[in-house]
Structure 1
Amino acid sequence: MNSWFKKMQSLVGYRTFNYLTIVITALLLFLLLINGVRPEKYDIQQFNPSKDTIRSIKTVEDPVKTEEERERAASEVTSVYQFSEEVGENRAAIVTSVFEYVMEVQGESEGERFTIEEQVDMLKEDLRVLETEGEGIRFSDDALTTLLNADSDTLTNVRDSITTSIRDIMSKQIRSEQVATAKNEIEKRIRSNSAIPANILQTAVLIGRYGINENEMLNEELTQARIAQARESIEPTRILQGQLIVQEGQIVDREVYRQLKLLGMLTNQSSLKPIFGLILFISLCMWLVHMQVSKWRTDKDERQSALLVVMLVFILSVIGMILISLVSGNFEVTIAFLFPTALAPMLVRSLINERFAILIAFLTASVAGIVFQEGYSVVLQMEITLYILFGGLAGLYVIQGAEKRSHLLQTSMTVAGVNVVFMAFYLLMTQSDYGVSELLFYGIAAFTSGLLSGALTIGLLPFFESAFGLISAMKLIELSNPNHPLLKKILTETPGTYHHSVMVANLADAACESIGADGLLARVGCYYHDIGKTKRPGFFIENQMSHANPHDSLPPETSRDIILAHGSHGAKLLQKHKMPKEIIDIAQQHHGTTLLKYFYHKAKEDGKLVKEEEYRYAGPKPQKKETAIIAIADSVEAAVRSMKQPTAEKIKEIVQSIIKDKLHDGQFDECDLTLKELKTVERVLCETLNGIFHSRIEYPQ
């Protein structure tokens, strides 16, 4: 599969291939999740029985019910009235003014000798303003004549009687609807007053009734303010999420139909909001993966493999969730808790690194919340999201240092324990009462989830390793087993090379660990780096033992070809046995393009015209830190082993010389090994070699 991906990458280019991978994964996620985010729709007809029991899928405001409640509250507000004592005084003053006008006209007529008709006209003119004021009052000519013919004492008595009654009656609150009653009361008082002459009685009643008016008036502004306050005090009426709308078999009346329409739960309604929301969620997930891949400082092939692994693990996790979700409706308990919480993080941690594992832990937990959400959850089923997140992170942190497959099972037991603890938290926090059978199920489900995480990780690791050419710590441990066929081949056919490889492995492992490189990869790579020497073991000095050196009888060109070929021979042999790419690269690159100095100078001494390029290894140069360090350790171990009496000073000199020579020769140009790291490597190699080749006490015979 990895070779197929490489062919695709070579056709479209690295960057385009990565973008295509992200886009295809995004489309698959969209297709897998779209049904989970679409709200459930019902084919409902008014005034027909409902085929299902329907509950609200969300909380929404019901504007119709809200308005009804606000109108009810407004109707219950009591109107605000204001009582004014001045109204009574003003009305009494007007009545007094009527009688004063009459007396004035009478006084004017005494000097001028006006006829009664002229006096009536003069009085009409004075009282004309009263016709348009308020309800208005119109006096007949007879009524005015009666008043003008009365003496001043009579007019004064009538006036005082009427104004007194007006003040008395107007001292009480009189609203508009009570005015008629008040007018009848003053009429009754006037008619029962014997001091009022009969000929003036009717006119007095007219004036008295006119003097009564409302003195407690509606305050429209304050009333409207109270109505507005009452309306605002009513909280919006909401249809709550999970609220029962209609039961199965119940007639769908207009109100139920209106609520279903408001909730958007009818088949003739559609909303694009969940789809756009899902697109944004998937875009965010893909952006995080893209950023993680692009920021990872390693070669393109590793970044491509990491992207493919993360995407495939992600998709497989989602498919597993959906399969569980499809059958969850057949159970009364939440079987989503059976999902292996730590599977994805443990797989990615074993195959790539911790940063990608943390990312996949959060992504799978988020998607689980969407997949396993019930019909009435808001966006995510939070208990499932947190359950998978806690289990995933637990597995991720516990798996660190797990170098054997048995360690994965131990890790899964820890994950199971974390799952059980979270399950206890969940059951204690919920308000529901669970029976013994339910509690037992949830406990077993949490424990099973942890065990499945480890078991499935063990089962899927070989598939991913072979499919994508990846190598995990557990795979490296297996390859380091001395019973491996290739290691047996090295041990039996080239024992000197095997011993040399073990020594180089110790050096490279210590040096890699000191700068944060993969020491385990370097160690195992060293075991196989010289496997090409098994083709012609006798031509390599560490395997000659007491035998003569065959190169003494060979021309330099032939010796050169034999020595230079061991790297390519080893790579081919490793490829034949389907060894991981990293091990093959170490075998092929550990000499880089270094010069085979001994045979190059020997050819020159023979007087032959030689080119330096012909005596250099084919390469390529080391592409990774681990390979570069192996190249240094390989040369250093051989050089120090050839010394008769190695001392700390001599070891330091030769280590510095070899590193300096390779650096100036450009052997580290294609890997990201820094000068600071080279200095650390130099120090660690010297310390390790001093420990190996320390001086020993010479015991007496």
Structure 2
Amino acid sequence: MKDLVNKFYKNHALVYKVLLFIVTTFLIVYLFPKSGKFKYDFEKGKPWQSETLYAPFDFAIQKTPKELEEEKNQIETTTIKYFNLDPDIKGNVLNKYYKSFDKVFPDSIYTSKNEIKNFGKDLIEKLYEYGVTNEDELIANKSTVTILKDRVEVGKTDFSNIYRQSQVKPKIDEEIKKNNFEEYSKPLSILFFNIIEPNLTYNKALSDTALQERLSSISHTRGSIEKETLIISKGEIVEGNKFLILSSLESEYESQVWNESNYNLILFAYTLLVALALLMLLLFLRKYRLEVFNNNTKVTFIFFNIFLMVLLTTLIVNYDSKYIYIVPLAILPLVLKAFFDARLGLFTHVITVLLLGFIVPNSYEYMFLQILAGIVTILTVSELYKRANLFISVGQITLVYIIAYFAFFLIHEGSMETLKWDTFGLFVLCGLATLFVQPLIYIYEKFFGLVSDVSLLELSDTNSKLLKKLSNEAPGTFHHSLNVANLAEAAANEIGANAMLIRVGALYHDIGKMKNPTYFTENQSSGLNPHDELSPKESATVIIDHVIKGIEIAKKNNLPDRVIDFIRTHHGDSSVYYFYMKEKAKDENVDIADFSYPGPKPFSKETAILMMCDSVEAASKSLKEPTSTKINDFVENILNKQMDDGQFLNANITFKEIQAIKKVLKRKLANIYHLRIEYPE
């Protein structure tokens, strides 16, 4: 058991990657649409590109959504509506009319009283011929109305024959005018307003039941296709009934393929494809980006971004697939290039787009546009910390989207008449969303502990608190660091290394000297050397400790690990040779390990360049009457000695690149010492 625990502990990083791989795979598969995928691609109005197609099984021809909606609307406007009749209301209204009439129309005033009375009686009969209802919210339509009395049908009529409460007063006014009783309009209106009441109550439960019965009887199909029936021939135009049949076959195929019997099998196939894609990414990291592969935080960061893009795209597709291009997928290569490099960013982007091909409609068009946008992103975005560069790159990405989409539209439609201009607006919104990459990078830096060029730019500010302290407490070291930064930046640009990173590393590589600044020659201005009072071993310890103290100061000030690497490696495991030889003169058995830096050796191009530039710049102060020949020999000797000591064995730097760095250092030193070309005598 103990051996198993030890083995697990030794391989915990690999175990974590396996778990991350499995979890990410299942999360992505979970987001995939739960339906089969039709193996043929077709578009309305375009030729059938695949082989001649025969029906693989019996299936029904589905009605279009428009047809189903029209049929539903037709049923809703014609379905029978049920009303309950209160038979006592009409009699009550007539009784009230007779009682109130004499009060409103006294004999002494109105000479045509009987005529008016008969008019009122006839009007009430007309209103209650089919009935009055208070259901004003019911919209008049072509429905038939069934009138029920004690749940027994007593009559049928059109819905338009029933008077709603809001229609009563206009009907009364109309009849008064029609019979020339305008002079009695006011008393008649008041009379009828007080006595007319509805006698029909809408039976919503029964009406809704009748409506649902008819809606449920709607057939979603119209006709069927038998197995082995010719559906479409190669080259035939997909239109009309052919398009409907193919759409029905696609729908039937997807519903038949994705059923309980083979659900797990198809899910397994999806899992295999996603796992293969993510495995390719891991293999790429292991072969070409081993430093990233060995860092679980960085691998987690990459997988998290892939899953985030899949999640965002899935949410948009589920909401409305026409907004698919609003997802700022170009953020992915932007972020990865900011933290890693262009090649890794593009490779990850392509893998992500391949995964999204399972989710989005028109997958080929989508993948073409997104891969093209990813390539443009990688090619155009440089020095992300410069805001203008980001705006220019986003503009170029948006333009590529628009041009590519326009070309695809012309291919599909053959004309510009039906061009959807709002899609171009989606691309503009996508571009604006891509600008969110700047705050997103900051969030990622804090959450994952990564460092981008934006942070490096902030750290390179010589007015920062730590560098100001260095310039005040160890001005000579600060000046030395600036010179090393200039040399290292030029060398990095020559061989394509990260110039911004190496400049920041150079500025901070000697901050440990702030603890005992006067023990380093560049800070000794009084002519007194404190090493005169120390033994060689003690002096060596003070010199070597500036690396350890530098790491402590850097961590206390929250400098990123990538910057601390320069402090840790800028002397490698070399020795403090001067004090070693001084001690050796006293004691032949001295151990050189006591006079050596703890290391490690440089393990990247950038840290190797810093070691070269630091040694050359520091030693160049000892040059007397420098000439081109002296500088050439001087640079060659220092760098060759470092190579002989194996200081660059762990760094991925080539002999060719070292030769290029030598040339840069020689040229820079010649410029520093203002040397002229030596002409032959």
TM over 0.5: yes
Cα deviation for residue 610 of structure 1 reads 3.3
**Higher Cα Rg, which structure:** 1
Give the secondary-structure state (helix, strand or coil) at the position aligned to 1:370: coil
1:357 counterpart letter in structure 2:
G
Cα deviation for residue 668 of structure 1 reads 2.2
Q: Which residue of 1 aligns with 2:637?
A: 657
| 2:293–2:299 contact (8 Å) kept in structure 1 | no
Cα deviation for residue 345 of structure 1 reads 1.3
2:670 counterpart letter in structure 1:
N
Q: Which residue of 2 aligns with 1:404?
A: 386
Q: Which residue of 1 aligns with 2:304?
A: 312
Aligned pair 1:24/2:23, yes or no? Answer: yes
Q: Which residue of 2 aligns with 1:689?
A: 669
1:278 counterpart letter in structure 2:
Y
Distance 1:603 1:520 in 2: 40
Distance 1:55 1:573 in 2: 76
| 1:260–1:266 contact (8 Å) kept in structure 2 | no
In the TM superposition, what whole-angstrom CA distance separates every residue of 1:576-635 from its partner, at most 9, and x where no partner exists? 222221210110111111111222233334559632111111111112222122112111
Cα deviation for residue 285 of structure 1 reads 1.1
Distance 1:668 1:261 in 2: 62
Match of 1:680 among 635, 660, 680: 660
| 1:416–1:451 contact (8 Å) kept in structure 2 | no
Q: How do 1:396-545 residues align onto structure 2 when only pairs under 5 Å count?
A: 396-431=378-413, 439-455=420-436, 457-545=437-525
2:31 counterpart letter in structure 1:
L
Give the secondary-structure state (helix, strand or coil) at the position aligned to 1:63: coil
RMSD of the alignment, in Å?
A: 4.2
Determine what percentage of the aligned residue pairs are the same residue.
28
Q: Between 535-544 and 413-422, report the one with greater CA deviation.
A: 413-422
Q: 1:636 to 1:428 in 2, by over 3 A?
A: same
Distance 2:334 2:457 in 1: 17
Q: Which residue of 1 aligns with 2:319?
A: 327
Distance 1:598 1:9 in 2: 46
Q: 1:268 to 1:320 in 2, by over 3 A?
A: closer
Aligned pair 1:348/2:336, yes or no? Answer: yes
Distance 1:474 1:308 in 2: 21
Q: Which residue of 2 aligns with 1:670?
A: 650
Cα deviation for residue 320 of structure 1 reads 0.9
1:355 counterpart letter in structure 2:
R
1:63 counterpart letter in structure 2:
K
Distance 1:444 1:401 in 2: 28
Aligned pair 1:63/2:220, yes or no? Answer: no
Match of 1:597 among 556, 572, 577: 577
Cα deviation for residue 470 of structure 1 reads 3.0
Q: Between 287-296 and 260-269, report the one with greater CA deviation.
A: 260-269
Q: 1:320 to 1:37 in 2, by over 3 A?
A: farther
Cα deviation for residue 475 of structure 1 reads 2.5
In the TM superposition, what whole-angstrom CA distance separates every residue of 1:438-469 from its partner, at most 9, and x where no partner exists? 945322211010121122x2122123334444
Distance 1:356 1:580 in 2: 21
Distance 2:228 2:485 in 1: 80
| 1:508–1:629 contact (8 Å) kept in structure 2 | yes
Match of 2:364 among 365, 375, 382: 382
In the TM superposition, what whole-angstrom CA distance separates every residue of 1:242-291 from its partner, at most 9, and x where no partner exists? 54889xxxxxxxxx9xx958962897775566435423431331232123
Distance 2:341 2:218 in 1: 50
Q: How many residues align?
A: 499
Aligned pair 1:622/2:622, yes or no? Answer: no
In the TM superposition, what whole-angstrom CA distance separates every residue of 1:299-356 from its partner, at most 9, and x where no partner exists? 3666655533321110010111122123217xxxx11121113111111121111222
2:279 counterpart letter in structure 1:
W
Q: Which residue of 2 aligns with 1:554?
A: 534
Aligned pair 1:395/2:394, yes or no? Answer: no
Q: 1:448 to 1:316 in 2, by over 3 A?
A: same
In the TM superposition, what whole-angstrom CA distance separates every residue of 1:185-240 from its partner, at most 9, and x where no partner exists? xxxxxxxxxxxxxxxxxxxxxxxxxxxxxxxxxxxxxxxxxxxxxxxxx9xxx996
Q: Which residue of 1 aligns with 2:175?
A: none
1:489 counterpart letter in structure 2:
K
Distance 2:252 2:642 in 1: 78
Q: Which residue of 1 aligns with 2:154?
A: none
Match of 2:622 among 617, 642, 654: 642
Q: 1:567 to 1:260 in 2, by over 3 A?
A: closer
In the TM superposition, what whole-angstrom CA distance separates every residue of 1:502-548 from its partner, at most 9, and x where no partner exists? 11112222223333332322222101100111122222111122352
Give the secondary-structure state (helix, strand or coil) at the position aligned to 1:299: helix
Cα deviation for residue 430 of structure 1 reads 4.4
Q: 1:282 to 1:543 in 2, by over 3 A?
A: same
1:442 counterpart letter in structure 2:
T
| 1:419–1:447 contact (8 Å) kept in structure 2 | no
| 1:37–1:370 contact (8 Å) kept in structure 2 | no
Give the secondary-structure state (helix, strand or coil) at the position aligned to 2:647: coil
Aligned pair 1:285/2:287, yes or no? Answer: no
TM-score relative to the length of structure 2: 0.65
Q: 1:666 to 1:365 in 2, by over 3 A?
A: closer
Structure 2: state its 5+ residue gaps: 1-5, 39-58, 63-212
2:227 counterpart letter in structure 1:
P
Distance 2:605 2:491 in 1: 10
Give the secondary-structure state (helix, strand or coil) at the position aligned to 2:357: helix
Q: 1:641 to 1:498 in 2, by over 3 A?
A: same
| 1:354–1:396 contact (8 Å) kept in structure 2 | yes
| 1:54–1:244 contact (8 Å) kept in structure 2 | no
TM-score relative to the length of structure 1: 0.63
Distance 1:9 1:493 in 2: 48
Q: Which residue of 1 aligns with 2:551?
A: 571
Give the secondary-structure state (helix, strand or coil) at the position aligned to 1:264: helix
Q: How do 1:189-204 residues align onto structure 2 when only pairs under 5 Å count?
A: none
